[in-house]
């Protein structure tokens, strides 16, 4: 049995830096082992200690320039809660619209710019030549909607920079950023979210501008979804259906709060969480376990067995504000203390990402921790099986986009879309879900815009509630970025941040092995995946590893941050590797 080891570092077409090491078995044409690791350190949580909690709304956004608004939203919800500062309804609606604008921008970016090139003609011709041959003779079923006659034409359209659909996605992403800027003053790192509301006056003109741009996103998504449907269906029917499978073990924090239900109270979080346009939920082995956001929060654990951090010794806070038990590994008890170790030492510590898991503390399944993944597929799956909303059927999410005429658009009529729970949670289905979630976010933004206009019409124009900040408090903000769940936890003492923790979407998915040896979602999705490319001369490119990781849409700047500008970069064959031994000895006193 011949095996091939591949190392890919840095992985390209993602935000930040990461590496992957995988082993392919040439006889079975399967990947039999894999490790994914983050290569940079993040110290934002320690930087925030001693600050006003509200400072985190602006500082924590610096986690990422790609998805700052989910961080701003999670941080401001945590501050609302810690300060006991519920916003008025219109402020929540405006926060939602800013958030939704970023989700449509990020969906277009992911589908077309970051993941789409993995299925472009330039790449497919090199690594899957037989797929390219079939694509040239395969008619695109939804040609009328997106304008490409064959699958090969679509693959050409996904070529970076030169591809026409690649450029369309870039334009749609730009429009989404412009929509967010209208409500946030700037993007990235917007500055209008504040505890108790939003710091901007309401002008009907701004809502009208937002609505006009939203119309172009609605028109675009009517082409994006059928385009991705055709591409995914073709690739799955021609050999890529077993790439990147992961079990239906999923989480979604939910997002887009109901303006009249959200009150920022932790004790009511289970109630107002259920009123979100995108519902929260935990799915284990394909079954919905809970929609209760309080239960979900208490179950969050983050360990460091294989991460470059010191363990948290004990639980400073053994109970949450509702007297539920907290472990030492819950974010309200956790700290971020780096610990240097060797690079790529997979038996020991090997990643700057920590290891989030979800603990079934109410013993709904087995009373154990579970490896769960977050992404648009997770989000839509939870929405589909949570049958307490009109868009959910139990097996799908069904919604209707409005009629609208936009210059250059191919589909002007009203369109009903239905994302159906797939048979497999594989790389291609994660890409499909991202396209449908772009459409669903545009649909939610349309509904939220109409509601905001109705509020203004009725004279509900208040955008901030005055509050008196207490000396101490707990806060948690749980929302969904495009890549998955964003969580911010704050403990306030004497009016200052005593503890602050951020768990990003990519932290869940790139998480290294835990104490039980279970791989994180990236690693698990690679292990057992088909290796679809021919092993010419005993070499492979690792395209299926790349497709698998890109399908989760990594954001490593969100998960870790640059450590020191003097790190040495050593390139060995196709592997570039960052060594930080000297830097660590100087800064932390222990050498890797």
User: Cβ of 36: how many Cβ atoms within 10 Å?
Assistant: 32
pLDDT digits (tens, 9 = 90+) for 109-162: 999 999 999 999 999 999 999 999 999 999 999 999 999 999 999 999 999 999
* Residue 558 pLDDT: 52
Rounded Cα distance, 497 and 490, in Å = 7
Angle ∠(318,323,324) on CA atoms, nearest 5: 75
* Residue 538 pLDDT: 79
Angle ∠(156,161,164) on CA atoms, nearest 5: 50
Task: Using the structure block, give the residue that is written with the tokens 């989030």.
Answer: 356
CB 477 within 8 A of CB 81: yes
* Residue 569 pLDDT: 28
Token readout for 555 is 């954001």
Least confident of 7-16, 19-28, 434-443, 541-550: 7-16
Instruction: Enumerate residues 6+ apart whose C-beta is below 8 A from 129.
Output: none
The band of 576, judged by pLDDT with boundaries at 50, 70 and 90, is: very low
Rounded Cα distance, 156 and 147, in Å = 13
**SS3 at position 503:** strand
pLDDT digits (tens, 9 = 90+) for 522-536: 999 999 999 999 887
* Residue 1 pLDDT: 56
User: Domains, the chain, ranges and CATH?
Assistant: 3-561 (1.10.645.10)
CB 515 within 8 A of CB 305: yes
**SS3 at position 488:** strand
Rounded Cα distance, 418 and 398, in Å = 4
Rounded Cα distance, 86 and 88, in Å = 7
Token readout for 439 is 């459409």
**SS3 at position 359:** strand
**Residue 300 vs residues 38, 346, 370, 371: alpha-carbon distances, Å:** 21, 25, 10, 11
Instruction: Enumerate residues 6+ apart whose C-beta is below 8 A from 75.
Output: 56, 57, 60, 61, 193, 477, 488
The band of 574, judged by pLDDT with boundaries at 50, 70 and 90, is: very low
pLDDT digits (tens, 9 = 90+) for 46-88: 889 999 999 999 998 877 767 889 999 999 999 999 999 999 9
Nearest residue to 501 via CA among 304, 313, 332, 319: 332
* Proportion of the chain in helix, strand, coil states, percent, rounded to 5: 40, 20, 40
* Residue 559 pLDDT: 53
Beta strands in 145-249, from DSSP E residues, in sequence order: 193-194, 197-198
The secondary element (H helix, E strand) that includes residue 134 is helix 129-136
Angle ∠(572,574,578) on CA atoms, nearest 5: 55
Angle ∠(124,127,133) on CA atoms, nearest 5: 50
């Amino acid at each position: 049995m011949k095996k091939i080891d591949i190392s890919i570092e840095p992985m390209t077409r993602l935000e930040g830096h990461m590496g992957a090491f995988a082993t392919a078995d040439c006889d079975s044409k399967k990947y039999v082992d894999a490790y994914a690791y983050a290569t940079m350190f993040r110290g934002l949580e320690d930087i925030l200690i001693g600050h006003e909690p509200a400072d985190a709304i602006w500082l924590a956004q610096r986690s990422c320039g790609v998805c700052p608004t989910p961080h701003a939203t999670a941080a401001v919800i945590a501050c609302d809660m810690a300060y006991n500062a519920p916003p008025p309804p219109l402020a929540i609606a405006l926060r939602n619209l800013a958030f939704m604008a970023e989700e449509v921008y990020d969906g277009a970016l992911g589908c077309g710019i970051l993941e789409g090139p993995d299925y472009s003609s330039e790449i497919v011709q090199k690594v899957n030549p037989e797929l390219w041959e079939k694509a040239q003779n395969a008619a695109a079923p939804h040609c009328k909607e997106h304008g490409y006659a064959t699958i090969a034409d679509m693959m050409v359209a996904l070529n970076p920079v030169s591809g026409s659909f690649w450029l369309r996605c870039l334009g749609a992403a730009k429009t989404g950023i412009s929509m967010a800027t209208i409500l946030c003053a700037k993007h990235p790192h917007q500055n209008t979210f504040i505890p108790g509301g939003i710091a901007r006056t309401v002008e009907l003109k701004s809502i009208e501008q937002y609505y006009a741009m939203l119309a172009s996103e609605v028109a675009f998504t009517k082409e994006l979804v059928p385009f991705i449907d055709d591409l995914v269906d073709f690739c799955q029917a021609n050999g890529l259906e077993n790439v990147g499978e992961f079990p239906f073990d999923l989480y979604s924090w939910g997002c887009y709060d109901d303006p009249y239900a959200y009150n920022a109270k932790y004790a009511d979080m289970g109630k107002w969480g259920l009123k979100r346009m995108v519902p929260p939920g935990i799915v284990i082995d394909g079954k919905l376990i809970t929609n209760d956001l309080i239960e979900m929060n208490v179950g969050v654990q983050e360990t460091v067995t294989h991460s470059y951090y010191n363990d948290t010794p004990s639980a400073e806070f053994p109970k949450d504000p509702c007297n539920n038990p907290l472990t030492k590994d819950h974010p309200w008890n956790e700290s971020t203390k780096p610990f240097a170790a060797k690079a790529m030492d997979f038996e020991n510590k090997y990643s700057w990402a920590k290891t989030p898991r979800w603990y079934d503390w109410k013993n709904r399944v087995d009373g154990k921790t579970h490896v769960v993944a977050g992404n648009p597929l997770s989000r839509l799956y939870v929405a589909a099986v949570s049958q307490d909303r009109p868009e959910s059927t139990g097996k799908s999410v069904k919604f209707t986009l409005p009629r609208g005429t936009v210059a250059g658009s191919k589909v002007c009529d009203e369109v009903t879309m239905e994302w159906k729970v797939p048979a497999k949670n594989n790389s291609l289905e994660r890409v499909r879900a991202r396209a449908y979630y772009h459409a669903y976010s545009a649909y939610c933004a349309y509904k939220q815009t109409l509601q905001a206009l109705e509020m203004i019409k009725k004279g509900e124009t208040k955008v901030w509630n005055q509050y008196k900040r207490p000396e101490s408090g707990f806060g948690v903000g749980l929302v969904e970025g495009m890549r998955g769940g964003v969580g911010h936890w704050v403990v306030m003492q004497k009016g200052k941040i005593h503890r602050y923790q951020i768990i990003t979407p990519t932290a869940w998915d790139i998480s290294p092995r835990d104490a039980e040896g279970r791989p994180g979602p990236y690693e698990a999705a690679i292990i057992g995946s088909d290796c679809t490319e021919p092993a010419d001369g005993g070499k492979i490119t690792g395209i299926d590893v790349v497709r698998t990781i890109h399908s989760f849409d990594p954001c490593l700047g969100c998960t870790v941050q640059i450590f020191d500008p003097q790190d040495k970069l050593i390139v060995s064959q196709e592997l570039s590797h960052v060594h930080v031994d000297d830097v660590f000895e100087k800064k932390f006193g222990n050498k890797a």
